[in-house]
Amino acid sequence: MMSPAARSGQSTENIMHWVLLATLPGGLALTWQFGWGVPINVLLCSLCALACEAMALRLRGRPVGFHLRDCSALVTAIFLGLALPPLVPWWVVAIACSCSIIIAKQLYGGLGNNPCNPAMVGYATVLLCFPEQMSRWLTPQTLLPEGLYQPGLWQSIHLVIGGGDLIDGITGATPLEVLKHKTGLMIEQVYASEPIFNRASWAGAGWEWVNLGFLAGGLLLLRKGIFSWHAPLMMLVSLSLMALFYWDAGSSASHGSPLFHLFSGASMMGAFFILTDPVSSATSIRGKLIYGAMIGVLVFSIRSWGDYPDALAFAILLANFAAPTIDRYAAPRTFGHSAKRNGVRPEEDQ
């Protein structure tokens, strides 16, 4: 190595630590609304992910401690733990986690080489394989009747390990599900009749706070310069524009307002934590803009016309596959060159 060691002081570990810290507001909001299931998910995921990572690194003959210390496995685990529905059986968590770490990350060559976001691969796998368990979201705390609480710590552990049935009345539809199955009602009517909307402050009860939490964490990372604004902002803008375009004045054909889309489901978490995963996203500035816009459009399309009420995972995975091509076409003009040289060029003849 010839280059001297003068460095800016930023490091991969440091970045990962900031990302972990920034998930706190969103995670706390989730815990407040959905109870002990959330921290249990996060803990299970973390243990499982670290174990999988250590095992895979060992099998690949890489220094385990050195690579574990970059905290990337922990970041994946926490994203996954926050994305999975609370109180989902432990084996669903384990399968999701091992898919994330072993298949989506280590089999491709570890950190930096995975084409797709590992957390989203794990999430999509279990969403496709275990739709029943994965569609079982709890009713947010805000909507629970007086005197009824989310299951306590021991009961939660019991439910996760033993897999017992949830008490009726705690499970409930998410705002996206409610709006999807509104069957010909006008938006105003849905908002008037459904408690998840009429008891909400501005979007969907419970979920609005969760999204606000992730937004706060995201803004912190933005301020710390962990990622640039391009991809998240473009995703939120394109999602809003799509919602506005199909708003249809709140008629029975409407798919919900921009505000509703921004603060429902995994919008904010996706925009600030999953989209900004540098490994699997586009890297040039223009590439990031295109990548973000593409995800916004896909999220809205799948939410509105697809089978899944929220499909951020699918939108992101599709865009992940597109990212290298986007980068290829969105490369900046090199200084001193008159025209861009991008796109696929024919092999030079020898």
Partner 1 sequence: MSRIWETPGGIYPPANKRQSLSLPIDYPQLPERLVVPLDQHAGRPCRACVEVGQQVLKGELIGVVDGALGAAVHAPSSGTVTAIEPRPAGRLSGRPARCIEIATDGLERWTRRPCVADYRQMSAPQLVDRIAQSGIAGMGGGGFPTAAKLTPNGLPPIATIIVNATECEPYVTADESLMRERACEIIQGIDILAHIHGNRARLVIGIEQSKPEALAALRAACAKSAMEIVEIPRKYPSGGERQLIYALTGKELPSGDIPANIGVICINVATVYAIKRAVIDGEPLISRVVTVTGGACATQRNYQALIGTPIKHLLRHSGVNNNRLNQLIMGGSISGFKLPSDEVPVVKTSYCILAPDIDEFAPAPPERACIRCGRCAEVCPASLLPQQLLWHAKAANHQQLEEHNLVDCIECSACNYVCPSHIPLVDYYRAGKVHIDAARQVKSNAAQARQRFEFRQLRLARLEREQSQRRAARRSAAVPSNAPRAPVARLSSADIIAAAQNRAASKQPTVEQTLDKLQRNISTLQNRLELAEQRLVAASDDPLNKQNSLRAAVEGARQKLQRAEQRLTEQAHG
**Can residue 1 be called a binding residue for partner 1 (CB under 8 A)?**
yes
Span near partner 1 by CB under 8 A; candidates 7-15, 87-95, 119-127, 299-307: 7-15
Looking at the Cβ atoms of 65 and 162, the one nearer to partner 1 is 65
Q: Does 2 bind partner 1 (CB under 8 A)?
A: yes
Considering only residues 61, 65, 66, 146, which one is a binding residue for partner 1 as defined by CB under 8 A? Answer: 66
Altogether, the residues listed in the chain come to a count of 350
Q: What is the DSSP string of 248-283?
A: GGG-TT----HHHHHTSTTHHHIIIIITT-TTTS--
Pick between residue 88 and residue 120 the one whose CB is nearest to partner 1.
120
- Which of 36/79 has CB closer to partner 1? 79
Q: Any contact of residue 249 with partner 1 (CB under 8 A)? A: no
Tell me which residue of 120, 125, 114 sits closest to 324, measured CA to CA: 114
Strand partners, 171: 138
61 binds partner 1 (CB under 8 A): no
- Kindly state whether residue 4 participates in binding partner 1, applying the rule CB under 8 A: yes
Q: Shortest CA distance to 117 belongs to which of 90, 67, 80, 62?
A: 80
Euclidean distance between CA atoms 289 and 294, whole angstroms? 9
What is each CA distance from 103 to 92, 97, 160, 193, 320, in whole angstroms? Answer: 16, 10, 24, 44, 16
> Can you tell me the distance from the alpha carbon of 20 to that of 221, in angstroms, rounded to the nearest whole number?
10
Cα 304-205-244 angle, rounded to 5 deg: 35
- Name which position in 15, 40, 121, 212 contacts partner 1 (CB under 8 A): 15
Site residues for partner 1, 267-306, by CB under 8 A, read 278-279, 281, 283-285, 288
Task: By CB under 8 A, name the binding residues for partner 1.
Answer: 1-8, 10-12, 14-15, 66, 70, 72, 110-113, 227-228, 278-279, 281, 283-285, 288, 327, 331-339, 341, 345, 347-348
